[in-house]
Chain A
Amino acid sequence: MSKKRHDSQPSAPQAKQPQPKQPPAKPKRPPSGLPWHVVSRCLVSLLVLLHMTAVISAPWNLSTGDALPPGYVAPPGQPEVPAPSSTVWQEPPLTRVLHRFFRHYLNLIYMNHGYEFFAPDPSGTHLVGYRVSKSDGTTIEGKFPDLEDQWPRLFYHRHMMLAEQTQMMGRASGQNYADHLATLHGGPSRIDWMIHMLLSPQQVAEGKPLDDRSTYQVIESLDGRPRVTETKEAAIAIPEAGR
Chain B
Amino acid sequence: MKGIFRDVSSYISEAWQAWNRFWFTPTDPATLSLIRVLAGSMLLYTHLVWSLDLQAFLGQEGWLPVDYLRSQIQVETLPDGSMETDAEGNPVAAWSVWSVFFWIKPVWLLWSVHVIALIVFFCLTLGLFSRTTAVLAFLFAVSYAQRVSPGAFFGLDKINCMLATYLMLGPCGARYSLDRIRRLRRGDTSPAMPSTSANIAIRLIQLHLCVIYLFSALAKLGGENWQAGTAVWWAVANYEYQSLDMTWLANWPVLVALLTHITVFWELLYCCLIWNRFTRPLMLWIAVGVHGGIAIAMGMITFGLSMIYANLAFLSPATVRRWVDPLAGWFAMRLTGAK
Contact = CB atoms under 8 A, between A and B. Distances in A.
Interface string A67-84: 000000000000000000
B222 interface: yes
Contacts of A221: none
A162 B156 CA distance: 15
Interface stretch (A10-18, A20-28, A198-206): A198-206
A127 B240 contact: yes
Interface stretch (B32-40, B174-182, B244-252): B244-252
A100 B242 contact: no
A163 to B, nearest CB: 9
A211 interface: yes
A110 B247 CA distance: 37
B150 A235 contact: no
Interface string A116-131: 1111111111010000
Nearest to B155: A117
B224 to A, nearest CB: 6
A107 B52 contact: no
For the side of the interface on B, what is the size category? 35 or more
B264 to A, nearest CB: 10
B167 to A, nearest CB: 13
A157 B106 contact: no
Contacts of A140: none
A94 interface: no
Contacts of A55: 207-208, 211
B237 A198 contact: yes
A122 B211 contact: no
Nearest to B153: A161
B220 A119 contact: yes
Given A123-B234, A176-B68, A114 B142 contact: no
B238 A125 contact: yes
A169 interface: yes
Q: State the main secondary structure of chain B at its contact with A.
A: helix
A143 B303 CA distance: 24
Contact of A236 (B107, B161, B204): B107
B154 interface: yes
Contacts of A234: 107
A237 B234 CA distance: 37
A237 B52 CA distance: 7
B26 A35 contact: yes
A45 B253 CA distance: 48
B226 A121 contact: yes
B240 A160 contact: yes
B53 A237 contact: yes
A205 B250 contact: yes
A234 B107 CA distance: 8
A35 B196 contact: yes
B158 A113 contact: yes
B330 interface: no
Contacts of B25: 34
Kindly name the residue among B49, B98, B215, B253 whose own CB sees the greatest number of chain A CB atoms within 10 A: B215
Kindly name the residue among A100, A124, A161, A238 whose own CB sees the greatest number of chain B CB atoms within 10 A: A161
Interface string A170-212: 0011001100100110000000000010111110110000110
Contacts of A157: 154, 299-300, 302
Contacts of B233: 200-201
Nearest to A1: B197
A96 B249 CA distance: 41
Interface string A199-243: 111101100001100010000000000010100011111100111
Interface in A40-80: 41, 44-45, 48, 51-52, 55-56, 59-60, 63
Given A115-B216, A122-B225, A169-B73, A196 B240 contact: yes
Contacts of A105: 96
A90 interface: no
Contacts of B31: none
Contacts of A229: 61
Nearest to B53: A241
A228 to B, nearest CB: 11
Contacts of A56: 211
B63 A119 contact: no
Contacts of A233: 106-107
Contacts of A118: 220, 231, 235
Given A107-B96, A118-B220, A119-B223, 19 more contacts: A36-B196, A41-B23, A44-B23, A44-B24, A108-B142, A118-B235, A121-B226, A121-B234, A122-B231, A124-B238, A155-B49, A158-B49, A160-B240, A176-B68, A210-B238, A210-B247, A211-B239, A237-B55, A241-B53
24 contacts: A32-B17, A34-B26, A51-B204, A56-B211, A104-B94, A115-B158, A118-B235, A119-B226, A121-B224, A125-B239, A125-B240, A145-B240, A153-B299, A153-B301, A158-B148, A173-B68, A176-B68, A180-B56, A201-B253, A229-B61, A234-B107, A235-B55, A235-B107, A236-B107
Interface of B: 17, 19-20, 23-26, 45-46, 49, 51-57, 61-65, 68, 72-73, 79, 94-98, 106-107, 111, 141-142, 145-146, 148-158, 161-162, 165, 196-197, 200, 204, 207-208, 211-213, 215-216, 218-220, 222-226, 231, 233-235, 237-243, 247, 249-251, 253, 256, 299-302
7 A-B pairs with the lowest CB-CB distances in the bound complex, closest first:
A120-B223, A119-B219, A107-B96, A59-B215, A201-B250, A104-B96, A121-B223
